[in-house]
Amino acid sequence: MDLKLLEAELRRDEGVRPLPYKDTEGVNTVGVGHNLDAAPLPAGWKYPLSDAQMTQLLAQDVSSTLAKLDRAVPWWRGMDEVRQRVVANVCFNLGIGSAASGKGLLGFKKAVAAMQRGDFATAAAEMKDSKWYRQVGQRSVRLCSAMLTGVMPSA
């Protein structure tokens, strides 16, 4: 997977903010969607964060997201690259979660099952039928389209 492209997509979708803020769910966040409640900043870092610091946090968060996906849904690497980036983007945004809790990527039980069997039309339809879809605006429209078609829309 082209990690630079994934990072560029996450910068577009999450935004880049050098000062802390609360996201739509009230989570303390900074940089490119970095969850400060789950992973506080390294000792000695001060606000506003530099571009280099935000890039470092993003790289660590992407690495962590991909590792969680590899553990939880190892088959995801068998999808084409565009759909892998969709899965990584959603997981970055919501966390891995669990089917039991109904939270995170794994909370999309029907969508994840459809992805695993290569039924991308059902996966996209199930993604659309969610609170997440209604909350994240153009991001969800773009990611659902990419899941359906295998082509990432440019806007």
CATH code for the domain in which residue 132 is found: 1.10.530.40
What is the per-residue pLDDT for 11? 97
Residue 155 falls within a domain, yes or no?
Answer: no
79 vs 61: CA distance, rounded Å: 21
Average of per-residue pLDDT across 135-149 = 96
125 vs 70: CA distance, rounded Å: 24
Residue 154 falls within a domain, yes or no?
Answer: no
* Residue 154: band (very low, low, confident or very high) from pLDDT cuts 50, 70, 90: confident
Q: Which domain holds residue 35?
A: 3-149
Number of separate domains in the chain? 1
- Secondary structure of residue 39 in the 3-state scheme: coil
Cα torsion for 100, 78, 132, 89, to the nearest 10°?
Answer: 120
Span 37-88, pLDDT tens digits: 999 999 999 999 999 999 999 999 999 999 999 999 999 999 999 999 999 9
5 vs 130: CA distance, rounded Å: 26
Q: The sheet that has 34-35: what strands, in order across it? A: 17-22, 28-31, 34-35
Residue 86 falls within a domain, yes or no?
Answer: yes
Residue 39 falls within a domain, yes or no?
Answer: yes
Residue 138 falls within a domain, yes or no?
Answer: yes
Inter-CA distances, 1 with 11, 62, 109, 147, Å: 17, 12, 24, 15
